[in-house]
Amino acid sequence: MSRFLSAKYANLTPYTPGEQPRDAQYVKLNTNESPFPPSPRVVAAAEREARRLNLYSDPECTELKLAAAKLYAVEPQNVLPVNGSDEILYFAFLAYGDAQNPFAFADISYGFYPVYAQFCEVPSREIPLTSDFAVDHRDYLGIAEHVLIANPNAPTGTCLPLWQIEEIVKSNPDRMVIIDEAYVNFGGESCVPLIKKYDNLLVIQTFSKSRSFAGARLGFGIGNEALMRDLNTVKYSINPYNVNRMTQAAGVAAIEDDAYYRANAKTIMAVREETAGQLRELGFTVLPSCANFLFAKSGSISGEDLYRKLKSRGVLVRHFTKERIKDFCRITIGTQEQMQILLSNIQAILNAKGC
Ligand SMILES: Cc1ncc(COP(=O)(O)O)c(C=O)c1O
């Protein structure tokens, strides 16, 4: 660090993104991207818009908001487009967190939550997942903090039904309940319809996973109009042009081509179930998943060893060093061919160990 860095950042532990290697061709199953390219209509829309990159983007994202409102069956004033859903998480910590307004989230969840809490100087409490790595919704009823839950959760993949989310929202009327639905299109139940009933619910969605947009950076905050005004105030105080022209145009095209993405999500869910079965046959414990990844541990090889051996064979998965989950690897669901490569490499690694 330089001698100029503000003292308030001296002890900051930043988020560690998954590896994005440039040195080799990997079967890349480590950052929950879609294995499918964006739809041809999306590519065409982005190309068209690229010709107007000399002009600032629409800070209100007017067309995109209209399209997203239709997609989510809400009004345009209930939607705030953002530069990836990470950005709306950041806005929410800034808007709603401070020393008197702490956040609570699971001990095993998206790694950015504690980073934003620390960065925004918001106290936080980590609520342990159950012994089988599930969120117990009863732990979040009538609590003293704002609630932040990834549903489905990451990196575990388990999900809560809508009625449990509603209980949490209902039981915390004077607290924000933020539900991060990054993976909801792979079998979860969205709580977006509840925003019409509850003024304390903020739903977060992203196009990164189910809509093949990880590199385009597009997410949404969805909630009641007053919440959107709060978050808009934060946005206009940081970066009014937060969603670039190409992404706005591509986002509208993606929404118009929703059938393409629904079909891809269906394929991914089918491949997920097949892969889970095959991993179990190889002796793995695999958590039930409502997401585009599996969280799995072998009885014969440690999580770290498996990650390293797979990497040396050109297959990237994600391993976390946190004590509670260090035996697991998180495996993104790719194409059927990619999963066969993964499985045959796992089989070879286990054979070499004499398992
Ligand atoms: C639970 C969860 N929320 C949010 C995000 C952020 O996604 P993005 O900023 O690409 O929209 C991720 C990314 O992996 C995630 O796992």
Q: Would you give per-residue pLDDT tens digits along the chain (355 residues)?
A: 999 999 999 999 999 888 898 877 899 999 999 999 999 999 999 999 999 999 999 999 999 999 999 999 999 999 999 999 999 999 999 999 999 999 999 999 999 999 999 999 999 999 999 999 999 999 999 999 999 999 999 999 999 999 999 999 999 999 999 999 999 999 999 999 999 999 999 999 999 999 999 999 999 999 999 999 999 999 999 999 999 999 999 999 999 999 999 999 999 999 999 999 999 999 999 999 999 999 999 999 999 999 999 999 999 999 999 999 999 999 999 999 999 999 999 999 999 988 7
Residues 6+ away with beta carbon under 8 Å from 345 = 310, 313, 315
- Model confidence, pTM: 0.97
Q: Which regions of the chain does DSSP assign to beta strands (E)?
A: 27-28, 79-82, 103-106, 124-127, 146-150, 177-180, 201-206, 219-223, 284-286, 293-298, 315-316, 318-319, 328-332
CA of 150 to the centre of ligand 1 (A): 9
Query: Domain ends where: 256, 285, 317?
Result: 256
Do the domain assignments include residue 242?
yes
Query: What letter does residue 18 receive in the DSSP assignment?
Result: P
For residue 155, is it within any domain?
yes
pLDDT recorded at residue 46: 98
Please, what is the Cα angle at 213 between 37 and 246, to 5 degrees?
105
CA of 85 to the centre of ligand 1 (A): 6
Q: Based on C-alpha coordinates, what's the Rg of the chain? A: 20
Are 222 and 318 part of one and the same domain?
A: no
pLDDT on residue 22: 84
Distance CA 72, CA 43 (A): 23
Can you give the pLDDT at residue 23?
Answer: 77
Q: Could you tell me the distance, in angstroms and rounded to a whole number, from the CA of residue 5 to the centre of ligand 1?
A: 28
Residues 323 and 218 occupy one common structural domain: no
Q: How far is the CA of 234 from the centre of ligand 1 (A)?
A: 20
Q: Where does ligand 1 bind, in terms of residues with CB under 6 Å?
A: 32, 84-86, 110, 150, 154, 180, 182, 206, 208, 214, 219
Q: Which two tokens stand for residue 279?
A: 């991993």
Which single residue is written with the structure tokens 């997942």? 129
Beginning with the edge strand found earlier in the chain, give each strand of the sheet holding 328-332 in spatial order: 284-286, 293-298, 328-332, 318-319
Residues 273 and 202 in one domain: no
Please indicate, yes or no, whether residues 203 and 184 belong to a single structural domain of this protein. yes
Residue 6 lies in a domain: no
> Is 295 in the same domain as 214?
no
Residue 345 backbone phi and psi in degrees, to 5: -70, -40
User: Which DSSP string do the residues of 67-132 spell out, in sequence order?
Assistant: HHHHHHTS-GGGEEEESSHHHHHHHHHHHH-BTTB-EEEESSS-THHHHHHHHTT--EEEEPP-TT
Q: Is there a contact between 84 and 217 (Cβ–Cβ < 8 Å)?
A: yes
Quickly tell me which residue has 């145009």 as its tokens.
Answer: 249
Same domain, 224 and 323: no
In a domain, 3, yes or no: no
- Look up the CATH number of the domain holding residue 278: 3.90.1150.10
Whole-number Å distance between alpha carbons of 113 and 123: 11
Question: Among 19, 93, 209, which residue has the most ligand 1 atoms within 8 Å of its CB, making it the best to mutate?
Answer: 209
Q: What is the pLDDT of residue 26?
A: 93
246 in the same domain as 142: yes
Residues 217 and 84 grouped into a single domain: yes
Closest CA to 42 of 257, 350, 330: 257
Residue 166 falls inside a structural domain: yes
Q: How much distance in Å is there from the Cα of 39 to the middle of ligand 1? A: 21
Q: Please state the atom number of ligand 1 nearest to the C-alpha of residue 208.
A: 10
**How many whole angstroms separate alpha carbon 349 and alpha carbon 355?**
9
**Residue 257 phi/psi, 5° resolution?**
-105, 35
Q: Which of 208, 227, 256 is the last residue of a domain?
A: 256
pLDDT of residue 21: 87
Measure the CA–CA gap between 97 and 291, rounded to whole angstroms: 28
Number of neighbours of residue 15 by Cβ within 10 angstroms: 13
Same domain, 288 and 158: no
Separation CA 213–CA 216 (nearest Å):
5
- DSSP 8-state secondary structure symbol assigned to residue 216: T
For residue 89, which atom of ligand 1 is closest to its CA? Answer: 4
In a domain, 105, yes or no: yes
For residue 135, count other CB atoms closer than 10 A to its CB: 26
pLDDT at 71: 98
Residue 307's pLDDT is what? 98
Residues 266 and 246 in one domain: no
Task: Report pLDDT for 355.
Answer: 78
Same domain assignment for residues 223 and 288: no
Name residue 178's amino acid: I
CATH code where residue 210 lies = 3.40.640.10
Q: Rounded distance, CA 339 to CA 30, Å? A: 13
Dmax over Cα atoms in the chain, in whole Å? 62
| Residue where a domain stops, chosen among 232, 256, 280 | 256
Number of structural domains (the chain) is 2
The pLDDT value given to residue 19: 86
Range of the domain at 274: 11-36+259-352
- Rounded CA-CA distance 261/211 in Å is 6
Burial of 66 (C-beta count, 10 Å sphere; 0-12/13-18/19+): middle
Q: Are residues 211 and 239 in the same domain?
A: yes
pLDDT at position 157 is 98
Type of residue found at 232: N
